[in-house]
Structure 1
Amino acid sequence: MKLMPKISWPEKLELLLKYWEEDPQLRDILITGGDAFMNSDHSLRQILDGVLRMAERKKEANLKRPEGKKYAEISRVRLGTRLPVYIPQRVTNEMAEILKEFRNKASKIGIRQFVIQTHIQSAMEITPETRECVRKLIAAGWVVTNQLVYTTASSRRGHTVKLRKVLNDIGVIPYYTFSVKGFMENNHNFATNERLVQERVEEKHLGRIDKSVFEEIKSLPMQPSRIVEALQSFRNKNYVPFLSTDRSVLNMPGVGKSMTFRTIGITNDGRRILEFEHDHTRAHSPVIDSMVQIIIIESKSIQDYLNQVEKIGEDPDEYRTIWGYSLSDTENRMPIYQYPDYDFKLTSELKNFMTDPDIMFSTDLVGTN
């Protein structure tokens, strides 16, 4: 009896959605819960219907607010899932219809971006079944993006380059490449941050997009049903094998997504000590101004990393420039991921965040490496 929920799921859902409804700045809702597609069709419809009602209420409440006091309205809905790889058959025609119906209804009240965020780690994971799953999602009017977790296995030379190309081939847009948090329990999977920066500089540049075509690329997600053809046409016209639309970052407690660091020391077993700053290219709450830099001690030395990739068949000499990457800046976010503008002036009011950096960085909230 102690484990019995105190309130029903519909009641809890309304409480969760109330948080978005009453926050002046939130415009983007990400539904994961582990994996959004693990929900039954009934539960998924229930969640999306709840989001729709919440977005309508938030929009209606704005009619009573003056210019400069209006709240951010929901403009983007995202669903996080890895099932297109694990169980692509989960995306049935019935589920695709639920997603399509929601998109059609939500578009009428001003929600403009509909995104499926998946986690494809390797080009080898893209099977015919995964391709068909992605096709159904795109046909339902949703853009599919990918977040790669940069593990030792996926950090091999050319691995991520190949993945980006194959993702583009099936209509998926790379979103983030995440460095594995350097906690000791992740030691085996950890590819050093220096390797991620090396990949960005020496491999990812093959898909760099000139600023002169940023406006064109920004429009790619506007017609999801044509995105496969649009991506192919754009790559052909700009002579690139893939689009480097993903940002390479480490997601850190208290700082968020950043790859702005400098090396400030080294341990006696060769692990680098990095001083991180928050991402200066993004807007943050005022608490950032009173925060200190975050110190990360990597859980693996570069030499240990090179020894590990050698054991899986790599030539360490191909990685020899890794030693020189001792500092980095965070990449700018691609225009393709920017929020659409409002036709009204937004309030500057902030809610629902901690204002005391001493609390934010207590050992109860932030792990150590």
Structure 2
Amino acid sequence: MDNPRHDPDRWGPTVLRPGELTAADRASWTAMQSKAHLHGSPELANPFLSPEFALALGRCRRGVRIAVVREDGEPAAFFAYQRTAAGVGRALGLGVSDSQGVVHRPGFRWDARAMLRACGLAVWEFDHLVQGQAAFEAGATGRFASPVIDTADGYDAYLAHLRAHSPKFLKSVQAKERRLHRQVGGVRYVHDERDPAALRTLMRWKSAQYRRTGRSDRFAQEWIVRLVDHLFHTRGESFAGLLSVLYAGGRPIAAHFGPRSERIISNWFPAYDPEFAKYSPGLLMQLKIAEAAAAEGIAYIDLGRGQKEYKDSLKTREIMVSEGWVMRRHPVAFGHRAHRAPLRALRNTVVERPELFAPADKLLKRMGEIRSGRFHM
């Protein structure tokens, strides 16, 4: 057991519904995130760990709860999660969130099982646990790289990195931008687009991409559409839903929507118009986002867990995230793990092994062609 002062059985976290979180608590939560990089925990500033994301998800999904731990009357940690009536806990936004864990003061420690007991959870499942969460990391079943683009030193420094590590990639994208300008028309980038119609266009492109590649269409789920809509209209110095759009010849050809905090932009929903695929508009847009992020003082862009060729070309380094679950000795916990573990192991085996991923990806795309009526024998 950790220091008794940090024992959930003794300091008794207060479990709140999102609407019960006070303005003072929100301010403390945001302050912890703002100062996290000064205490060696920059990942805690991720927008998916913000109070705004927790409150937005609480408007769209049931079972969102926030455990507030206090020391000497002041907030010391915030643990946002989702739970079922049976006590099955999931990381906030499991399946769509790229960063999960406890936001806390420097030096704060906790015991995982005691925390779960205090929150009424038999098990807590995660798939993007940030680094430095020792109590929860003990339950990790795998660790995965999440590529990032560092922008703190400015865009010129980033371009210098690309010239040194991805010279062919950079030259190709820059050449395609010139060709796009000549053949289609003036290229214009809007970093913070406020037109809701542009957001609808992005959702339409992304849905088509999911179907085309045989993936499940996230925007077919009403709660995800409502979440994105709500975040799009959430704006503040510490958090905003950021829609970025690349135009050519007056037409939108690529777009990205994702949350941003003071220091981090999360790459969430990028998409482009397939009609302009030969110009690689998605990659060009990523460079534009990096340029604007550097100008705004953003520390880095989190490209998200998952091995993709374009991420390898864009990244400057990687951070690590974990997946797994922490459990109490409880029948519900054992039953949940027995159900989830085989599915998760199979998915990771396919994704992490190229000799399996390539044919699986090809099969999914073939299925997408069949569903969209584009398949020919």
TM-score (norm 2): 0.25
TM-score (norm 1): 0.26
Which is helix-richer, 1 or 2?
A: 2
Which is strand-richer, 1 or 2?
A: 2
